[in-house]
């Protein structure tokens, strides 16, 4: 565990970023009091070069909503669009990118940006409906 002396932010050995939830209390002796910590979910990069199954592909985030994403993919000059749902991986404390087996389930590929936008609109509508259903059944 690594702790920043100036702000109290912490990085665990597993690379999980943690920041203080409240102001730290410093006693007159200089002892730093107890912290309440809030885990910070690692978000997706706006631009990145793929690894593994998509090695060398260039990805650029075009749109992000509460429920999903659109990325433009450049595969050696071939441009297409990937739309996928927002999925949080609580084990690794990060937002997940889709793998090959995710396509057709919670991720889709489109030749046109219009098709990708339409699918993201659909994902957002379904996400809102799920949230409303949770409110109704948890009330």
Give the model's pLDDT for residue 12: 52
- Residues linked to residue 48 through DSSP beta bridges, in sequence order: 59
Give the model's pLDDT for residue 38: 54
Rounded distance, CA 78 to CA 85, Å? 23
Give the model's pLDDT for residue 137: 86
Q: Which of 61, 58, 62, 53 is nearest to 76 (CA)?
A: 58
Residues in the chain with pLDDT < 70? 1-39, 139
pLDDT digits (tens, 9 = 90+) for 93-121: 999 999 999 999 999 999 999 999 999 99
76 and 68 Cβ atoms separated by less than 8 Å: no
Order the strands of the 47-49 sheet from edge to edge.
47-49, 58-64, 68-75, 78-85, 107-110
Rounded distance, CA 12 to CA 119, Å? 37
Give the model's pLDDT for residue 40: 84
Q: Is the dihedral of CA 22, 23, 25, 26 positive or negative?
A: positive
Q: What is the pTM of this model?
A: 0.71
Q: Which of 23, 42, 43, 41 is nearest to 33 (CA)?
A: 23
């Amino acid at each position: 565990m690594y702790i920043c002396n100036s702000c109290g932010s912490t990085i665990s050995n597993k690379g999980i970023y943690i920041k203080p939830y409240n102001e730290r209390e410093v006693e007159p002796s200089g002892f730093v009091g107890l912290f309440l910590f809030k885990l910070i979910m690692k978000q997706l990069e706006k631009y990145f070069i793929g690894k593994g199954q998509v090695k060398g592909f260039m990805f650029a985030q075009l749109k992000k909503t509460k429920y999903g994403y659109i990325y433009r993919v450049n595969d050696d000059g071939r441009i297409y669009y990937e739309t996928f749902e927002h999925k949080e991986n609580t084990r690794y404390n990060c937002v997940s990118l889709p793998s090959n087996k995710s396509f057709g389930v919670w991720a889709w590929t489109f030749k046109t940006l219009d098709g990708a936008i339409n699918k993201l609109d659909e994902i957002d509508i379904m996400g809102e409906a799920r949230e409303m259903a949770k409110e109704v059944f948890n009330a």
